[in-house]
């Protein structure tokens, strides 16, 4: 029987393409808020005897997670054979250590909650920094798929002679993989963060790539502080209009304005989080990961 896909707020293009690639039936559901803020959920397509895929970006995690958990529990209660989460963006990955006494290590607690409610998890480029793999915190089978093939394809088609620049050491994993796919040079900057929004970066000598188009590449833009600092330095070095390329366009309030003020003219993201900059589709890589979990 075809898998049943319930879309809980993904990018429409991603959702439709995933249904096609997986041969999935789109499930109908009603999800709304009661006046007191609680969620109401009703499945209009029965999950009885079906493998269920919940497609749910978790970019507003505190708002999105409860409805997703309600949907998962309801699918199980109503007879789904398995219930998996396809989360184009996986939240709560960055609080992966107790930086100060008493802090919540939310990545671990969040993973525990999701692991108890789901049978598998597929996500795109989770922010693995101090964790080597999702298996360190998730108790269910999980697959982290990379946006790199889709980003490389976009760069090949859109940017002549790119030099890829990661704004911090953590970005090296994404930048190196994309650069290898298109045989482009790459560099990584050094970042120092002194607060949620205060970021300083150092820029290496890019003279050897003076004729190239700089492409700033990162996994997440949240406050925009990291990319704005890198942009400002590149502009100081005489590079005009670097392309800002990213996987997850979280874009907290003012982030886009901050990037524009720092000189960004072209901002391009994957459709893992719905945003006006979405131009790179990750459906193919996600479908590969989901197939592996459904087999």
- Of 191, 233, 248, 275, the active-site residue reads 191
169 vs 294: CA distance, rounded Å: 35
150 binds ligand R5P (CB under 6 A): no
Q: Please choose, from the candidates 189, 262, 170, the residue with its C-alpha nearest in 3D space to the C-alpha of residue 225.
A: 262
- Interface residue with ligand R5P among 14, 168, 272, 277 (CB under 6 A) is 168
218 binds ligand R5P (CB under 6 A): yes
User: Which residue stretch of 34-42, 102-110, 207-215, 216-224 sits at the interface with ligand R5P (rule: CB under 6 A)?
Assistant: 216-224
User: Which residue stretch of 116-124, 131-139, 179-187, 221-229 sits at the interface with ligand R5P (rule: CB under 6 A)?
Assistant: 221-229
If the CB atoms of residues 223 and 277 are measured against ligand R5P, the closer one turns out to be 223
151 binds ligand R5P (CB under 6 A): no
199 binds ligand R5P (CB under 6 A): yes
What is the nearest approach in angstroms of ligand R5P to the Cβ of residue 169? 9
Catalytic annotation on 191? yes
Which phi-psi region, left, alpha or beta, contains residue 89 (left: φ > 0; alpha: ψ -120 to 50)?
Answer: beta
175 binds ligand R5P (CB under 6 A): no
If the CB atoms of residues 215 and 220 are measured against ligand R5P, the closer one turns out to be 220
Chain centroid offset of residue 75 CA: 25
Q: Please choose, from the candidates 135, 136, 204, the residue with its C-alpha nearest in 3D space to the C-alpha of residue 172.
A: 204
Q: What is the CA radius of gyration of the chain?
A: 20
Within 91-236, residue ranges assigned H as helices are 106-117, 148-158, 172-182, 225-236
* Residues 212 and 236: beta-carbon distance below 8 Å: no
Q: Which residues bind ligand R5P (CB under 6 A)?
A: 167-168, 170-171, 199, 218-226
């Amino acid at each position: 029987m075809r898998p049943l896909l319930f879309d809980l707020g993904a990018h429409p293009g991603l959702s439709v393409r995933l249904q096609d690639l997986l041969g999935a039936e789109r499930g109908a559901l009603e999800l709304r808020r009661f006046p007191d803020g609680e969620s109401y959920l009703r499945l209009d397509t029965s999950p009885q005897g079906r493998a269920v895929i919940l497609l749910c970006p978790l970019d507003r995690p505190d708002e999105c997670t409860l409805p997703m958990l309600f949907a998962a529990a309801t699918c199980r209660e109503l007879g789904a054979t398995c219930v998996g989460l396809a989360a184009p963006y996986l939240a709560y990955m960055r609080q992966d250590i107790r930086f100060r006494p008493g802090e919540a290590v939310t990545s671990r607690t969040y993973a525990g909650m999701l692991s108890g409610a789901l049978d598998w998890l597929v996500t795109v480029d989770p922010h693995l920094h101090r964790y080597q793999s999702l298996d360190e915190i998730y108790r269910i089978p999980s697959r982290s798929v990379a946006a790199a093939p889709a980003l490389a394809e976009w760069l090949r088609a859109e940017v002549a002679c790119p030099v890829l620049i990661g704004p911090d050491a953590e970005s090296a994993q994404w930048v190196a993989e994309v650069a290898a796919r298109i045989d482009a040079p790459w560099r990584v900057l050094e970042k120092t963060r002194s607060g949620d929004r205060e970021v300083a970066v150092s820029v290496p000598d890019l003279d050897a790539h003076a004729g190239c188009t700089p492409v700033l590449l990162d996994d997440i833009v949240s406050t925009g502080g990291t990319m704005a600092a890198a942009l400002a330095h590149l502009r100081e070095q005489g590079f005009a209009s670097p392309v800002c390329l990213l996987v997850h366009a979280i874009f907290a309030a003012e982030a886009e304005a901050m990037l524009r003020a720092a000189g960004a003219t072209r901002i391009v993201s994957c459709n893992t989080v719905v945003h006006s900059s979405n131009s790179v589709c990750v459906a193919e890589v996600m479908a590969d990961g989901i197939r592996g979990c459904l087999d």
